[in-house]
Amino acid sequence: MSSHSSGKKEIKNTKRLSSGSRTSKPAIFLLGFLLIVVGIFGVLYNPSNSIKETLPWEISEAGTLSFSQREEPVFTVQEIEDLYSPEDPDILKMVSFESNGEKVQALLRIPASPSPPGIVLLPGAGVSKEGEQGLAAELSKMGYATLTLDQRNQGSVNVEKDLELFRAGLEPVEYLMVYDALKAADVLSIQPEIDSERLAILGESNGGRFAIIVCALDPSLRGVIGISTSGYGTEEIGSAGVADSEAYRFYRSIDPDTYLSALPPSRLVLIHSFNDTVISHELALRTFDLAKEPKAMYNATEEAHGYTASMRLYLEKELALLLK
């Protein structure tokens, strides 16, 4: 009722303005000038235009992710008590480093041996940096320092949400996770106790997927070891059979299989169980077949997902080759 009444008043007032008054020519010119200025401002400062100009990443037509040059790492380091492997003579440090405006937490485990090689360690989905210290301690016994990240969302991904961000010109969380691991490699390389010339990256499950992408993007890494991991197989679909080309480019950009050709001369190593309970051995074998030399694949038999004791010999052998 009130809405209908106010509508009548608006109509009446509009008629009075159009028939009972005249707008001066200078006022019309001023109004037109202001509209032009506002239009130009809108084009120049449109948020979507601003986002596109400042994006720190690019995607090629083939779906390959790349980043602008990274700045010098900014981080803090504090030695802490080793509650996870107190019987070992390791030094454990809490590291906090900046990555794309966020603080990323990581644990740096340093063995007693002088100038050990360094490994960026990426846990599987749902596993924290603390939860990955069992493998980190194993690697320390072999003589390797590790920097283990707390990945965003603890390594879990929401592909559909990331696709929405990609369409909007915003940064998908998975791109942020790749960038975090790249920054971690930068941080690890300048630790005074580490041999910066001997660096590699290792990931379990979903962490292995990010590890493959990161190794392809960072030539300072000598190789990547993926435990219980695989690509997604988007290359089998082919762009010709996809109606949504933008979605296809995004899916290609997060598929480690897309980056396999860029890995050499870095070495790819896959360790997988025939009876993996999460990622089938067939998927891992397909990724391995797509990869170029140098590469190696080892198989375990446990009905399990992730690192097992039977994988130690393979891990020790390949790390010795990678970081000799």
9 with 115, same domain?
A: no
0.95 exceeded by the pTM? no
d(CA 230, CA 148): 20
d(CA 17, CA 23): 9
17 with 131, same domain?
A: no
In a domain, 98, yes or no: yes
Beta carbons within 8 Å of 186's beta carbon, 6+ residues apart: 70, 72, 73
Domain count, the chain: 2
Do 217 and 178 touch, CB atoms closer than 8 A? yes
39 with 156, same domain?
A: no
How confident is the prediction along the chain (324 residues), in pLDDT tens digits per residue? 434 333 333 333 333 333 333 444 444 344 344 433 334 333 333 444 433 445 789 999 889 999 989 999 999 999 999 999 999 999 999 999 999 999 999 999 999 999 999 999 999 999 999 999 999 999 999 999 999 999 999 999 999 999 999 999 999 999 999 999 999 999 999 999 999 999 999 999 999 999 999 999 999 999 999 999 999 999 887 766 677 889 999 999 999 999 999 999 999 999 999 999 999 999 999 999 999 999 999 999 999 999 999 999 999 999 999 999
Q: Which two tokens stand for residue 166?
A: 């990609």
Sign (positive or negative) of CA dihedral 220, 223, 229, 235: positive
12 with 161, same domain?
A: no
In a domain, 87, yes or no: yes
Q: Which two tokens stand for residue 19?
A: 């028939």
- Expressed as residue numbers, the domain containing 40 is 2-45
33 with 75, same domain?
A: no
CATH code, domain carrying 229: 3.40.50.1820
In this structure, are strands 65-67 and 57-59 parallel, antiparallel, or unpaired? antiparallel
35 with 103, same domain?
A: no
Find the angle CA(60)-CA(97)-CA(94) to the nearest 5 degrees.
Answer: 135
